[in-house]
Amino acid sequence: MTATPISTFADRLRQRYGEGDAPATAVAHPVIDLMLNHRSVRGYRPDPLPAGALETLIAAAQSAATSSNLQTWSVVSVEDRAARARCAEMAGGQKHINECPTFLLFAADLARLERVAESEGIPSAGLDYFELLLMAAIDASLAAQNLVVAAEALGLSTVYIGGMRNRPEELAALIGLPPMSAVVFGLCVGYAAEGREGNIKPRLPQEAVLHVDRYDLAAQDAAIARYDAAMAAFQEREGMKRAGWTQHSARRVEGPAQLSGRDDLMKALRRMGFLKAEG
């Protein structure tokens, strides 16, 4: 058996950006090395998480910063097999939702705060503005990403499931969410199946995303063109269609049909009790 070489930090950066676009200077750190090694996994072994792992992951999630310490998020672990199958179906038939040992639904949750205000006899009209919904979605995302990093530190893999926003009211009914609470995404957690560990997917050169003092859109063109080539090479290595990044990304936003039902999300959220003060 040949030993797998341990990647140096510089190797990881090259994998993340491609040969010519890795930053020339960077500060090596084991936590950041773990982050650079991230990949979404869409094939899982059935083995459950070790005892205490879920609780540990939730503690990591709860350690994320949260706006005004309001903690406007909740998570539902879907264990019931039939409920799992319905989640997979709602997300457009994503098989990994059925396969992974742990499937988490992250909710933007203003219901708890509404109840707290009610118990204090204080009105909660502030909850009816877009700002609070956005705050809750941000809180849920920061918590989830902390959980992802913690999971990867434990040798687990994950993939986010935005497809859980396809049918928000049906999903809320399935898991008993009260009004003012909505799932913003799901997350599969488990051990990657053999051969399904995935590879580091390159990201845009920093030249495209990092700006100093003033944002510059046109100056990004050259970096985007290089990235398109890096993504095409990645797709070829992965045995995927060599579509590059620009074509694929432009197609993804072509029209409402590409939103898989989420073009109606705002209306659904209003029916779920959010945004009452917004016109």
Ligand X SMILES: Cc1cc2nc3c(=O)[nH]c(=O)nc-3n(C[C@H](O)[C@H](O)[C@H](O)COP(=O)(O)O)c2cc1C
Per-residue contact string for residues 240-259; x = within reach of ligand X by CB under 6 A: --------------------
Distance of closest approach, residue 187 Cβ to ligand X, in angstroms: 9
Q: Is 201 in the site for ligand X (CB under 6 A)?
A: yes
Distance of closest approach, residue 235 Cβ to ligand X, in angstroms: 11
Distance of closest approach, residue 125 Cβ to ligand X, in angstroms: 30
| End-to-end CA gap in the chain | 65
Q: How many CB atoms lie within 10 A of CB 28?
A: 11
- β-sheet bridge partners, residue 67: none
Distance of closest approach, residue 105 Cβ to ligand X, in angstroms: 12
Is residue 182 helix, strand or coil?
Answer: strand
Question: Which residue, 202 or 273, is less far from ligand X as judged by CB?
Answer: 202
CA atoms of 98 and 88, how far apart (whole Å): 6
Give Cα separations from 256 to 92, 94, 103, 161, 265 (angstroms).
Answer: 16, 21, 28, 19, 11
Question: Which residue, 50 or 92, is less far from ligand X as judged by CB?
Answer: 92
Per-residue contact string for residues 85-114; x = within reach of ligand X by CB under 6 A: ------x--x--------------------
Distance of closest approach, residue 126 Cβ to ligand X, in angstroms: 26
- β-sheet bridge partners, residue 181: 109
Question: Which residue, 15 or 66, is less far from ligand X as judged by CB?
Answer: 15
Q: How many CB atoms lie within 10 A of CB 159?
A: 21
Judged by CB under 6 A, the chain residues 28 through 47 that form the site for ligand X are 38-40, 42
Give the distance from CA 169 to its chain's centroid.
Answer: 20
Q: Is 227 in the site for ligand X (CB under 6 A)?
A: no
Enumerate the H helices of 91-129 as residue ranges: 96-99, 111-120
Q: What are phi and psi of 101, to 5 degrees?
A: -70, -30
Distance of closest approach, residue 14 Cβ to ligand X, in angstroms: 15
Q: What are phi and psi of 249, to 5 degrees?
A: -70, -40
Q: Is 127 in the site for ligand X (CB under 6 A)?
A: no
Question: Which residue, 78 or 127, is less far from ligand X as judged by CB?
Answer: 78
CA atoms of 15 and 53, how far apart (whole Å): 29
CA atoms of 96 and 186, how far apart (whole Å): 11
Per-residue contact string for residues 150-189; x = within reach of ligand X by CB under 6 A: ---------xxxxx---------------------x----
**Residues in touch with ligand X (CB under 6 A):** 38-40, 42, 91, 94, 159-163, 185, 198, 201
